[in-house]
Amino acid sequence: MEAAIVKYTEEDIKQIQHEYKKLLQLVNVKNDEDRKNIRMAFELAVEAHQKQRRKSGEPYILHPIEVARICVEEIGLGPTAVISALLHDTVEDTTTTLEDIRSIFGEKIEMIVDGLTKLEKAFDIKSPQAENFKKILQTLTKDVRVVLVKMADRLHNMRTLGAMPKHKQIRIASETAFIYAPLAHRLGLYNMKTEFQDMVMKITDYENYKMIANKLIDTKKQRNFYIDEFIAPIKEEMDELGLKYRIMGRPKSISSIWNKIQTKKVPFEQIYDLFAVRIILDVEQKMEKRACWLVYSIISDIHKPIPERLKDWVSTPKSNGYESLHTTVVGLNGRFVEVQIRTERMDEIAEKGFAAHWKYKNMYSENVFDHWINSMREILDNPSDDALEFIADFKANLFSEEIYVYTPKGDMKILPKGATPLDFAFDIHSEIGYRCASAKVNGRLVPLSYKLSNGDKISINISSNQKPSESWLGMVITTRAKNRIRSAMKEEKRQAGEIGKETLMRKFKSLGAKWDDDNLAILAKKFNLPSFVELYYKISLDKNWLNNLKEFKVENGMLFEIKKVEEKLNRPVISIPKTRRSSTIQPKLMINDESADKFSYTLASCCNPVQGDNIFAYVSAGAGVKIHRMTCPNATNLMATYGYRIMKAEWVGEENSSFITELKIIGVDEIGVVQNLTNVITNELGVNMRSITMSADDGFYEGRISIIVRNTSKLKSIVKRLKGQTGVTSVTRVY
């Protein structure tokens, strides 16, 4: 070992040894063999990485040590994971081989390190992310520790992302948002999921991230004061009963607050549930449930509960093992406060997810996990042709909540929320699914598309004449049922689809549209078809479907949707003829630190970037380079699915080009509204307006105004000015 560390400075050695000691103190080492193996893994890694440094300049070895620390401290894993984490980059980056690792540490460690190496490699090659995603899941079903160590690796890389070039930051962040955050959620690693989401937001939407972070700091005192006052009477009652507990008020994550601002359209100041109060009880396992409900009853005596918001994951835990009793009550000043009641054991599971289950060997949750892992295997063993379709299915599965239903004999089946008797039939056996003719729920005949609820008892009637049909796909939500139905219909569909494909090809030719994935994707997306095969099939069923193409125009071989002005209700639509775009000067950009002039680039019409927006470049298959806003609704999908086509983009130079952008204005409907807005925009602000459409309903109007601006600061001042008009309630930018 001494001879090996020549490439390290004295200071490096000090730091490495310090970090290693810190790690050792955390690991729960049960025997000498573990101790010896950890030491050997450390020494091997120190030697293997001796010539490497991280982007930040520190010795590379600090990274595997930190990943090991995360495995222990933040996920609750043991020596096997520590050894694997220490070795996780050796095979990929150094001359160490898998054989070396097997001969020293045995087959189990070799298998995990091999899995980690493969995952690493999967992301290097320029394959679509869908394929990478599949690989991750395949290793997950072999040994979940591979994925857990990988998550720790990703967490440390995200935490130290600042040293990376911007375009890499974006790629890594989008991958994290797309794969790792949902996976962390599914594995019950809530802290990690939250941290992932916050770090992603910090990279893709720094401005709003900072805005909320600052506001949280500003309001901290006030919030703490409120929490103290809220919990004081609860504490008093609990102390009187001699309960042992911890109580705390925790602010919600920045990304979840931002989410709320976006979806509920309320400003920060109007979000009252910025925090949740958590009560953690220290009781024996057999008293847990009773103790939680006791605390619930104490709280609801003091603060009025909102019954619809009660969530009881103590009686039936979530399938990722999460157990907790959540209630929302009306606190002081009529504010809603969420209170989470759980025990120390439940809290550890909530914090550390999967790993904590091993520790407690909770029979119940083990079953639920097995169920999930098995259903994963099922998806992987029976993948659909279309990788994106596969991901859509899988993601639905990651976020779904479960219901518990019963067979006539009383066996419990776990199905995702929203499942139907047909899902249930396929869950029992594919033959029962194929032949499913009718279903009874709690003794009553129901349609096959009936949505099941917790506790339902289901019996299925089968008929040998029955066979799956296309419409069944709309009646099921489980991947298993979908796969089964799809594969039953596949041959028939594919053959029929060939005819549709030829028809569409001829149509494209006559329109002068290029036959490429981009054009096909535009059609599939517009008509909500999950794959090209579906598109072809649809056309084969109905030739008239091609009339839909009238909604598109063709420019340079590309299909463009012709936007229709929506006519609404009582107010006639007012429209000012559009000015020609060609009068604007092409904005100056840098793409991947090079002048963008050598690319043929256009601004994406889905998000209409304006100089000053955070942007990125996407190399599309047929239409050159497209510039999107970082917050474009399509961005996460593009970045995650075609990560390798993403390039960094920045605005440069004089702000002498013009950008078209659209604002949505909502306000109280009164006579002269349009005139007033038009007047403010064109006369007072001197802004060039392309079009304005208005519709009114129920005393309110909604206006869409398309304007031409130089940059985002000009845009901001326009928004501010419009917001100040009497009767205007909101002004937002439209994508």
CB of 633 to Mn ion, least distance (A): 31
CB of 173 to Mn ion, least distance (A): 16
- Per DSSP, the three-state class of 349 is helix
Shorter beta-carbon distance to Mn ion: residue 89 or 175 = 89
For residues 695 and 704, give the distance between their C-alpha atoms in angstroms, rounded to a whole number: 9
- DSSP 3-state helix, strand, coil percentages of the chain (rounded to 5)? 55, 15, 30
Which candidate in 43, 58, 73, 92 is catalytic? 92
**Alpha carbon 483 to chain centroid distance?**
23
Shorter beta-carbon distance to Mn ion: residue 60 or 599 = 60
For residues 109 and 37, give the distance between their C-alpha atoms in angstroms, rounded to a whole number: 10
Is 348 one of the binding residues for Mn ion (CB under 5 A)? no
CB of 89 to Mn ion, least distance (A): 5
Neighbours of 211 (CB within 10 A): 15
Q: Which residue has the tokens 């609990």?
A: 238
* Token pair recorded at residue 642: 């075609």
CB of 48 to Mn ion, least distance (A): 13
Residue of 66, 89, 114, 402 that binds Mn ion (CB under 5 A): 89
CB of 322 to Mn ion, least distance (A): 28
Which amino acid would we find at residue 363?
M
Shorter beta-carbon distance to Mn ion: residue 60 or 651 = 60
Stretch that binds Mn ion, among 85-93, 108-116, 205-213, 677-685 (CB under 5 A): 85-93
For residues 660 and 14, give the distance between their C-alpha atoms in angstroms, rounded to a whole number: 58
- Per DSSP, the three-state class of 686 is coil
Active site residue 92: yes
Q: Any residues with CB less than 8 A from the CB of 352 and at least 6 apart, and which?
A: 74, 75, 76, 188, 189
Shorter beta-carbon distance to Mn ion: residue 161 or 292 = 161
Shorter beta-carbon distance to Mn ion: residue 123 or 404 = 123
Q: How many residues bind Mn ion (CB under 5 A)?
A: 2
CB of 46 to Mn ion, least distance (A): 15
Active site residue 93: yes
CB of 151 to Mn ion, least distance (A): 11
Stretch that binds Mn ion, among 89-97, 387-395, 432-440, 478-486 (CB under 5 A): 89-97
Q: What is the CA radius of gyration of the chain?
A: 29
> For 210, what's the count of Cα atoms within 13 Å in the CB-facing half-sphere?
5
Answer left, alpha or beta for residue 97, where phi above 0 means left and psi between -120 and 50 means alpha. Answer: beta
* Residue among 36, 135, 218 nearest 27 (CA): 36
Shorter beta-carbon distance to Mn ion: residue 89 or 534 = 89
Shorter beta-carbon distance to Mn ion: residue 143 or 205 = 143
Stretch that binds Mn ion, among 86-94, 301-309, 483-491, 551-559 (CB under 5 A): 86-94
Stretch that binds Mn ion, among 83-91, 144-152, 266-274, 414-422 (CB under 5 A): 83-91
By beta-carbon distance, which residue lies closest to Mn ion?
Answer: 153
φ, ψ for residue 618 (rounded to 5)? -125, 125
How far CA 223 is from CA of 16, 247, 505, in Å, comes to 41, 15, 62
* Token pair recorded at residue 703: 């206006």
For residues 21 and 16, give the distance between their C-alpha atoms in angstroms, rounded to a whole number: 9
CB of 634 to Mn ion, least distance (A): 30
Q: Restricting to residues 139-158, which ones interact with Mn ion according to CB under 5 A?
A: 153
CB of 710 to Mn ion, least distance (A): 44
Which amino acid would we find at residue 678?
T
Shorter beta-carbon distance to Mn ion: residue 156 or 501 = 156
CB of 153 to Mn ion, least distance (A): 4
* Bridge partners, residue 706, by sequence: 662, 691
Stretch that binds Mn ion, among 82-90, 184-192, 366-374, 413-421 (CB under 5 A): 82-90
Which candidate in 93, 100, 470, 516 is catalytic? 93
CB of 94 to Mn ion, least distance (A): 12
Shorter beta-carbon distance to Mn ion: residue 130 or 158 = 158
* Residue among 273, 292, 298, 168 nearest 223 (CA): 273
Say how many residues make up the chain: 735
Shorter beta-carbon distance to Mn ion: residue 156 or 482 = 156
> For 101, what's the count of Cα atoms within 13 Å in the CB-facing half-sphere?
30
φ, ψ for residue 539 (rounded to 5)? -70, -35
- Name the DSSP letter for residue 692: E
Q: Which residue has the tokens 């009767």?
A: 727
For residues 59 and 54, give the distance between their C-alpha atoms in angstroms, rounded to a whole number: 6
For residues 259 and 464, give the distance between their C-alpha atoms in angstroms, rounded to a whole number: 50
Q: Which residue has the tokens 């599309």?
A: 620
Shorter beta-carbon distance to Mn ion: residue 153 or 613 = 153
How far CA 378 is from CA of 142, 206, 482, in Å, comes to 13, 39, 12
For residues 405 and 323, give the distance between their C-alpha atoms in angstroms, rounded to a whole number: 19
DSSP H helices in 270-311: 288-302
Q: Could you list the residues that contact Mn ion (CB under 5 A)?
A: 89, 153
Catalytic residues: 92-93
